[in-house]
Structure 1
Amino acid sequence: MIKGRKSFIILVVIVLLSLPCLVSGASSESFSNALYAGQNKMYTIEVPCTATLELDGSMGSLFSLYAKKASSTWVPSPIHVINYADVSSMDAASSQQMHLDSGEWFVVVESRTGFSEFTLVINKECPMTTSCYGSPCYNMADCVPPAVYRDNVQSGFLNAGESKTFAYRLTGNRSYVEWVLSGSCDIGAPLMQSKSDVDLFVTKNCGPDFDLYVYSGCNPKYRPCMAVAADTGIGSNAYVGITHPDTENLYYVKVYGKRGSAQYTLTARSYLTEDMNIAGINPSKFEGCISSDINITAPDDLNITIPVPPTAYTIKAAEI
């Protein structure tokens, strides 16, 4: 009898310990409202992993559903979301369903007929990838973008024709390193989780045009070097990523002011783990560089006109 009671108590403890984990990866929120024909209502929704939107209106109602993913701190108007939606319902109906990936979304419900009430339910879920106490469960930690292992941030000001070179030493076994150059369009460096994130970032143009060059084991301040990767596209921002970087050599990274003058921020970010996607690649499966140009000869510091005192210099190597 005592043995059976102990087994029961152990079972209850395991169940209780598992409960918080089981409910932590899925959540939902709902909104109810009513609209006349032609009216709309916009909601801002944060999606950690994926979400399913379910809209149910009163009998005979016709609703359309629109969603646009946020790309900056700017909040669009409902009309802008309707006109430039990333996802929208095909036909107006009393019930609509929509699936969204991770990020911040602006969702607009638009009534197409009469006066109708509706309820919008957002079901958020994360993949079942971890186990707690021997049983599979949802874990909200899986929804958070991969943690940055180590980064280094440098900032400054460049005029057209000026450049600054920075040196980096990679310690340990790094699977991926990226350099994110932001001009006047952005203050910081966002986490790049897909190629579309990179494309959206580097195509921003807020006046100045900056280029980014990466060298391995060769300092372009003192002699001509061949860049191993570069982003020379038009725009204030630039991005270069290298899988399985060489930990034996210093990497030298040059920020070059091609046109215009502005502040810049250069973020060097290195990752340790192989089992993640960064900028749309998995370091364990790919070798090489992610950049718009490969093997480019950058403008050499010794061959360009530099104001006095010189603005091109190399900082002490930063460990990333």
Structure 2
Amino acid sequence: MLISLPCFVCGASSEAFTNALYAGQNKMYTIQVPCTATISLSGDQGSEFSLYAKKASSTWVPSAIHVTRNADVSSPKPASSQKIHLESGEWFVVVESMKGFAEYTIVIDKECPITTTCYGGPCYNQADCAPAMVYRDNIQTGFLNAGESKTFAYRLTGNRSFVEWVLSGPCDDSAPLMQTSSDVNLFTTRNCEPDLDLFVYEACNPKYNPCVAIAADIGLGSNAYVGISHPDEQKLYYVKIYGKRGSGNYRLTARSYTGKDMMIAGIKPSEYAGYIASVTDVKAPDDLNVTIPVPPTAYTIKAAEL
């Protein structure tokens, strides 16, 4: 059974629902989370309930079984009381009874504190929920075959607190705003034939020098993401797209921010020094001791000042 829970946010809000289940039964709820939410479950004494939550990645509504088998967040073990925390977005939450027959109550506490960034879900109190402001975008598009690469150069001007490169293959034609680590995971696991890798170098052009990447995303899929906190304004950054398998179009969005207290990809730049990537300190294919043909497309493009 699918139940849609309305979301009326004014800084913080709370909703409660009571139901009962036999062992093996479950009930699914659709929950819109504007910023963050805590789901608390309390059942009869001796009852055993489990909580499962999966974040929506499209308009498709999954079955309760799909949510339990592919949950992004779940309770550690069956118990009469449970608690899970959810990031912003649309979530499918399943309550499953593991023992006997028992009543339960779930309480959904939604919070959107002042100065907390919030987007991707309904936010009716704009004073409490303000999205992170993008300072500048630069978009590069093209086509790569397996074994080909393109490198773009970027110079960061002014006081940048964060810069990110969002690479999308044929799956997507735009770069979504990344507020949480779940947003990054959902985006980078998409695969539409070509397998593309993304490498970032600091003050070293991989086309002409034996460079070592400072960050990279070489996971399976057509999309990739790398973000860097507190980039060096005095150095050029070189970003290489490498076609590992297959062929297809790509779209590379370079995006810079200046705000200090915003939340991007699950971090606050003011509190974090480093970069985000699925793999770090890796070498690009042509940095290894392997002879790899350099195709005509392997050239550097002076992309933009960010």
Give TM-score, length-normalised by structure 1: 0.68
TM superposition shift of 1:99: 3.7
1:25 alignment partner in structure 2: 11
Is 2:230 the partner of 1:233? no
SS where residue 286 of structure 2 aligns? coil
Q: Which residue of 97, 100, 109 corresponds with 2:85?
A: 100
C-alpha spacing 1:286/1:34, structure 2 compared with 1 (3 Å):
closer
Bigger helix share: 1
TM superposition shift of 1:257: 0.5
SS where residue 317 of structure 1 aligns? strand
Is 2:293 the partner of 1:304? yes
TM superposition shift of 1:56: 7.0
Deviations along 1:261-320, one digit per CA (max 9) or x if unpaired, are: 1332222111102334434544345545444243735538xx7353xxx43444453232
Deviations along 1:69-122, one digit per CA (max 9) or x if unpaired, are: 3162253210122344422385465xx5534222332112345656x8776542
TM superposition shift of 1:67: 2.6
Amino acid at match of 2:293: I
Q: Which residue of 51, 61, 69 corresponds with 1:66?
A: 51
Q: State how 1:131-210 maps to structure 2 within 5 Å.
A: 141-143=127-129, 146-184=132-170, 186-193=172-179, 198=184, 201-202=187-188, 205-210=191-196
1:122 alignment partner in structure 2: 108
SS where residue 273 of structure 1 aligns? coil
Percentage of identical aligned residues: 61
Output the CA distance in 1 between the equivalents of 2:79 and 2:52. 15
2:195–2:243: 8 Å Cα contact kept in structure 1?
Answer: yes
Let me know the Cα RMSD of the aligned residues: 4.0
Output the CA distance in 2 between the equivalents of 1:296 and 1:151. 27
Bigger strand share: 2
Amino acid at match of 1:261: S
C-alpha spacing 1:125/1:298, structure 2 compared with 1 (3 Å):
same
Give TM-score, length-normalised by structure 2: 0.71
Is 2:74 the partner of 1:87? yes
2:119 alignment partner in structure 1: none
Deviations along 1:28-68, one digit per CA (max 9) or x if unpaired, are: 345566767654331111212332335578x8996735231
* Structure 1: gaps (5+ residues): 1-22, 131-138
TM superposition shift of 1:255: 0.7
